Structure 1
Amino acid sequence: MSTLDTQLVAGLAPAFKRRNAGLDAWFYDTGALTPDEQAGVGPGADEEGALIVVPPGGSGRRIRHHPDIAHFLAAEGETVQALVVAGVGSSALGTAALARNVADAYGIEVAGLVSGYGASDLLSEALGGWFFYGATDRFRHGLRELGRRLQAPTPPAPAPSGGRVGARAKPVSPLADLDALAALLVAAPPRLRLLVGHSKGCLMIDHALERHADALRRQGRDSPLFERLRIVTFGAVCDLPPVYRHRHQFLGALDGFGGLNSRLDLPFTRVSGAWHHLNRHLPAHLDAVACLREQVPLDGLAA
């Protein structure tokens, strides 16, 4: 992290973290976490790019914390089966709550990638991260359609100076959360079967998947994740790369916010009576646990 980045984060991130944790307490099912668990994933607990591992509720196991993807893969790479990326406030609290929902749906431990809080993210976080990822998703879809019509591979967009070449532009400053997700896809842990996003997290997942698929295509390689991985989005319908064969997208029927950055011409499940939030203690919630249990079967997962 640069000196400027460090100074900006030191000055502004605490306020953003408190705000974002407050947002996530409303948007996510934080009641599924015990008070002690909530305290352990408070605003100062985990930074951008950190990972937490959340067991099912009532299991008696504690939430585990890893500062970065390297530590996570060294400790959990052989056993991780599912990973979530939250959006809205992008806090550790929201991440843990979403991971708990997925853990309860399948009875397994679930990893969560904490996003946000770098200085490069402050403007993006202030806007919820929607405009960058949503616009680039539409831009990439246009390139893909043009490539299909020309019967040629979709041309990648030019990378910013010093940046990576990919199908979509990315911010000039590296993002620890996006880089961590990209590293996970490259590592392709042997038991990883499920990737779940909500809100901005869906769009970040889409961005990382496209980057991963493009890199493999240029190398003439395949990935076991193309067939094995189930990708689930809540609150945003994305143009997910079709090489990932199992895609499940859910959008609340009342969710105009998510619809603003969704590709509504793509297949998705509209959830009746639901808005953008996953908090089962509030009206008009989208019940992630029920959607997963009823519509995304995962055979072979083990607790």
Structure 2
Amino acid sequence: MALGSQAPDFSPTPAKPDLSKFEIPRELVEPLLWAFRQTNTLADALFYDVGLLGLRLLTRGILVTTTSTPQLAASAEINLAAAQAAAKIINLSAQANPEGTILVIDAHHAPFVQTYDDVQNFLQDGLSFRPSRGGGPRPVKIITVTGVGSSALGSAAFAWNVSESLRQPVAAIVPGYGLADIIPQALGGWFGFGVHDFARRVSQQLLASGGWELAKVGRHLASTAIGDEAFRTGSPESDILHEVLKRAEQIERLYGHSKGALCIQNAVRSLPAERTRRLHVTTFGCVIQEETDADYNQVMGNIDGLGQLNSWGNWPEHWIKGWHSTNSLLPLTMPVADLVKKDVRAEDPVTIDETVLQNALVAALAKLQPR
């Protein structure tokens, strides 16, 4: 070896560690998420009008189920009668759409419920409801967002109340349940949007850095709206709604309950002013800060401690005697259908005849003046 030459390095090159070997199998994670979703389904029966939804559809020959029906699906392949029976069942279980879905509800036209598991497909095809019994497409101009951890059952029930009252199709966003949602859900999720969003965002970012494949579980719908950032964001429902509002100019009305109202606030605050001026935002059970030029109508129950806590001092336009639930089968709940009707009627233009007004003022002054 020549003088001054560098000695060869025979030490082994350290291999890049394969961290995928340490990840939890996806097959073990999905049943855990389904179990948590089933818990949310039970909570929906308390906070949303699921009883009325089931009753309304049952009178139309449709059964709402929250359990998988493999036997029915198998028998449907055997004969036509079973296939027709299977077509009359709407599955709103956690297993049916664990990755999130957009439900388009029309309470007055069959098939009553249409589902989309892709935001882009919804923007292309789902901005109108297509009745199965004739008639042209009905444009979707309304979106609803429900509270913490709501499953497809609660989202459909809340959207049904709005659709039945306004006689228009309504799109309900069900964002999906990711592994990072377990932490804020276990804490209860009702600490205001800021704390809830922070807890979910931090846990999602930690999960994304340590297990990329697991971070994708439950985030399919959000990923079709904003791509890979859906696996790091703390509020997928806000991201989905923001993307829809940005691209669908026909959406005019937004209805949110509980944390759904806070998701609406987060989604509209960065929209252009010319877009927000055409929006009407109605909230139930949570008063958000009116940061945009949208038309706001916010309703709060006077015995709704949970909603008042989440409102952070914001004051509603209307106080009603009620608590946090919208289930019409329970006492002192928020009658969403009636409140929505009053809200729309209050927006009707008022025409005033100057002659009638002048005569009324003269008559009023004549009564007030002494003789």
- Per the alignment, residue 262 of structure 2 pairs with 203
Deviation at 1:299, TM superposition (A): 6.3
Contact 2:184 2:196 in 1 (8 A): no
What secondary structure is seen at the aligned counterpart in 1 of 2:298?
strand
Task: From 147, 150, 153, give the equivalent of 1:93.
Answer: 153
The question of 1:241 aligning with 2:291 is answered: yes
Deviation at 1:194, TM superposition (A): 0.7
Task: From 77, 98, 104, give the equivalent of 1:53.
Answer: 104
Contact 1:5 1:118 in 2 (8 A): no
Deviations 1:35-93 (A, max 9, x none): 5453221222223542010111x533330000021111111236221000111431000
Counterpart CA distance in 2 for 1:9 and 1:117 is 11
- Per the alignment, residue 186 of structure 2 pairs with 126
Which structure is higher in RCO with an 8 Å CA cutoff and minimum separation 6? Answer: 1
Bigger mean CA deviation after superposition, 89-98 or 288-297: 288-297
Instruction: Report the CA distance shift for 1:172/1:13 in structure 2 as closer, same or farther (over 3 A).
Output: closer
- Per the alignment, residue 30 of structure 1 pairs with 50
Contact 1:84 1:110 in 2 (8 A): yes
Deviation at 1:253, TM superposition (A): 1.1
For residue 37 of structure 2, what is the amino acid of its counterpart?
K
Instruction: Report the CA distance shift for 1:207/1:4 in structure 2 as closer, same or farther (over 3 A).
Output: farther
- Per the alignment, residue 108 of structure 1 pairs with 168
- Per the alignment, residue 70 of structure 2 pairs with none
- Per the alignment, residue 295 of structure 1 pairs with 343
- Per the alignment, residue 269 of structure 1 pairs with 318
Counterpart CA distance in 2 for 1:299 and 1:228 is 15
- Per the alignment, residue 151 of structure 1 pairs with none
Deviation at 1:240, TM superposition (A): 3.1
Instruction: Report the CA distance shift for 1:265/1:177 in structure 2 as closer, same or farther (over 3 A).
Output: closer
Task: From 263, 267, 274, give the equivalent of 1:223.
Answer: 274
The question of 1:20 aligning with 2:68 is answered: no
Listed as ranges, the gaps of 5+ residues in structure 1 are 138-159, 163-169, 217-221
Deviations 1:112-140 (A, max 9, x none): 00035111222223344332515589xxx
Contact 1:133 1:207 in 2 (8 A): no
Deviation at 1:266, TM superposition (A): 2.8
Deviation at 1:96, TM superposition (A): 0.1
Instruction: Report the CA distance shift for 1:259/1:7 in structure 2 as closer, same or farther (over 3 A).
Output: farther
Contact 2:289 2:314 in 1 (8 A): no
Counterpart CA distance in 1 for 2:63 and 2:261 is 25
Deviation at 1:17, TM superposition (A): 1.0
Listed as ranges, the gaps of 5+ residues in structure 2 are 1-19, 66-90, 129-138, 198-204, 209-228, 350-371
Counterpart CA distance in 2 for 1:253 and 1:181 is 29
Counterpart CA distance in 1 for 2:27 and 2:274 is 40
Contact 2:101 2:176 in 1 (8 A): no
Instruction: Report the CA distance shift for 1:14/1:107 in structure 2 as closer, same or farther (over 3 A).
Output: same
- Per the alignment, residue 173 of structure 1 pairs with 232
Q: What TM-score comes out, normalization by structure 1 length?
A: 0.75
Q: What TM-score comes out, normalization by structure 2 length?
A: 0.62
- Per the alignment, residue 95 of structure 2 pairs with 44
What secondary structure is seen at the aligned counterpart in 2 of 1:223?
helix
Sequence identity (%): 33
Counterpart CA distance in 2 for 1:183 and 1:171 is 12
Counterpart CA distance in 2 for 1:288 and 1:19 is 24
Instruction: Report the CA distance shift for 1:131/1:289 in structure 2 as closer, same or farther (over 3 A).
Output: same
Counterpart CA distance in 2 for 1:208 and 1:171 is 14
Q: What is the 5 A alignment of 1:125-204?
A: 125-131=185-191, 133-135=193-195, 173-174=232-233, 175-187=235-247, 189-204=248-263
Contact 2:140 2:171 in 1 (8 A): yes
For residue 125 of structure 1, what is the amino acid of its counterpart?
Q
Instruction: Report the CA distance shift for 1:80/1:128 in structure 2 as closer, same or farther (over 3 A).
Output: farther
For residue 19 of structure 1, what is the amino acid of its counterpart?
T
Counterpart CA distance in 1 for 2:292 and 2:140 is 24
